[in-house]
Amino acid sequence: MTWEWSYSPEGEAEFREELSKQTNEFVWVTWAEIQAKADPEHFAGGFDEIVYAAKRAIASTYPRDILENEIWRFAEEQRECSNGGWEVYVCPFHCHGVRTEEESHD
């Protein structure tokens, strides 16, 4: 079960900053998952490995800032987070999220 997030502009900026700290692999995989789900011809509620693999193969050819912006745009549209709001889910399957620093101190 997820919560819907509603952060202040400062909170959103903090999560965007945390997204920018993620590894390239995290960004490439997350972007590919979003792109695979966004393709309604191939996504029928499951996970299409072929579409994902194709998107993942080209992810590293795009500028990172563009990928981050698309990931963040997806996250803003979905507005899903963990219980407590410490982790914003940035992929359609909730396997990739961005956490705030405060959460890691609990």
Least confident of 55-59, 61-65, 83-87: 83-87
Show the tokens assigned to 20: 């920018």
**SS3 state of residue 72:** helix
pLDDT of residue 101: 61
pTM of the predicted protein model: 0.80
Judged against a pLDDT cut of 50, whether residue 10 lies above it is answered with yes
Q: Which residues contact 7 (CB under 8 A, 6 or more apart)?
A: 15, 85
